[in-house]
Chains A and B, each alone.
Chain A
Amino acid sequence: MIIQGHEIFAPLKLKTHSVVVGSGAGGGVAAYHMASAGYETVVLEEGGYFQAKDFNQREEDMMPALYRGAGRQTTTDGMIYVWQGSTFGGSTVINTADATPIDAEVLQHWQQTFGLNELTEENLAASYERVYKTLNVHRLEERILNRNNKVLLETANRLGYKAGVFNSNRKNCVGSGYCFQGCAYDAKQGTNLTYLPMASELGARIYTDVRVDRIERLSGSKYRVHGSVVERGTRRFRHPVEIDCERIIMAAGTVHTPAILKRSGFDKGLPQLGKNISLQPQIGMSAIFSDSDKMTSWRGAPQSIYMSEFDDHRAEHGLGGFRMEGVGGMAGIFSHFSNSIGHDHKRMMQQYPNTQFSALLVPDQPTGTMDWEWGPDGKVKPKIQYTPTEEWKQRFKRGFKTAAEFLFEAGAKEIHCNSAVFGPITSADQLSRIDDFPIEPGMVALTSAHVQGSCRIGLNADVGVVDQNLQLHNLDNIYVVDGSVMPTTASTHTMIPIMVMADRAMHKLAHGA
Chain B
Amino acid sequence: MDNNKQLPSATRRLFLQRSLMAMAAVAASPLMSAQELANAAIATPKLNILTADDYRILSVVSDTIIPRGGAFPLGALDIDLAARIDSYIEPEDTALIQGVRGALMFLEHKAPAIQGKEGLFSSMAAEEREALLLALRDAGGDAVAVYTALRGLCLFYFYTDEQAWPNIGYDGPLVKRDRPVYPQVEG
Q: Does A429 touch B at the CB level, under 8 Å? A: no
Whether B167 lies near A350 (C-beta < 8 A) is: yes
Question: Assuming the A-B contacts A335-B156, A349-B71, A420-B144, are A231 and B184 also in contact, with contact meaning beta carbons closer than 8 angstroms in the complex?
Answer: yes
Q: Give the contacting residue for A341; candidates B94, B134, B156, B170; CB below 8 A.
A: B134
Whether B168 lies near A331 (C-beta < 8 A) is: yes
Which of the candidate stretches A58-66, A263-271, A357-365, A455-463 sits at the interface with the other chain?
A58-66
Whether A420 lies near B90 (C-beta < 8 A) is: no
Complex CA gap A350/B174 in Å reads 21
Number of interface residues of B (CB under 8 A): 52
Q: Which residue of A lies closest to B174 (CB)?
A: A176
Q: Does A130 touch B at the CB level, under 8 Å? A: no
Whether A60 lies near B169 (C-beta < 8 A) is: no
Chain A residues near B179: list those with CB within 8 A.
Answer: 56, 61, 65
Q: Does B5 touch A at the CB level, under 8 Å? A: no
Q: Does B44 touch A at the CB level, under 8 Å? A: no
Whether A343 lies near B71 (C-beta < 8 A) is: yes
Question: Assuming the A-B contacts A9-B187, A335-B156, A350-B168, are A342 and B92 also in contact, with contact meaning beta carbons closer than 8 angstroms in the complex?
Answer: no
Whether B148 lies near A442 (C-beta < 8 A) is: yes
Which of the candidate stretches A232-240, A247-255, A405-413 sits at the interface with the other chain?
A232-240
Q: Does B70 touch A at the CB level, under 8 Å? A: yes
Which of the candidate stretches B61-69, B102-110, B112-120 sits at the interface with the other chain?
B61-69
* Contact count A vs B, C-beta below 8 Å: 145
Whether B177 lies near A352 (C-beta < 8 A) is: no
Closest 9 CB pairs of A and B: A57-B173, A343-B70, A56-B177, A54-B180, A353-B169, A332-B160, A346-B71, A352-B168, A335-B159
Q: Give the contacting residue for B155; candidates A6, A78, A336; CB below 8 A.
A: A336
Question: Assuming the A-B contacts A57-B175, A60-B160, A350-B72, are A421 and B96 also in contact, with contact meaning beta carbons closer than 8 angstroms in the complex?
Answer: no
Q: Which of A50-96 contact B (CB under 8 A)?
A: 50, 53-62, 64-65, 70, 72, 78
Mark interface residues in B133-156 (1 if CB within 8 Å of A CB, else 0). 110011001101101100110011
Complex CA gap A59/B162 in Å reads 12
Chain B residues near A349: list those with CB within 8 A.
Answer: 71, 159, 167-168
Complex CA gap A445/B181 in Å reads 31
Binding site for B on A (CB under 8 A): 4, 6, 9, 48, 50, 53-62, 64-65, 70, 72, 78, 176, 178, 184, 231-236, 238, 298, 331-333, 335-336, 339, 341-343, 345-347, 349-350, 352-353, 377, 420-421, 442-443, 445
Q: Give the contacting residue for B183; candidates A4, A62, A65, A352; CB below 8 A.
A: A4
Question: Assuming the A-B contacts A48-B182, A178-B173, are A332 and B145 also in contact, with contact meaning beta carbons closer than 8 angstroms in the complex?
Answer: no
Q: Give the contacting residue for A352; candidates B92, B142, B169; CB below 8 A.
A: B169
Q: Does B54 touch A at the CB level, under 8 Å? A: no
Question: Assuming the A-B contacts A9-B185, A341-B64, A421-B144, are A346 and B70 also in contact, with contact meaning beta carbons closer than 8 angstroms in the complex?
Answer: yes
Complex CA gap A48/B184 in Å reads 11
Q: Does B130 touch A at the CB level, under 8 Å? A: yes
Q: Give the contacting residue for A443; candidates B142, B144, B185; CB below 8 A.
A: B144
Q: Give the contacting residue for A331; candidates B133, B170, B182; CB below 8 A.
A: B170
Q: Does B36 touch A at the CB level, under 8 Å? A: no
Complex CA gap A238/B182 in Å reads 15
Chain B residues near A377: list those with CB within 8 A.
Answer: 92, 94
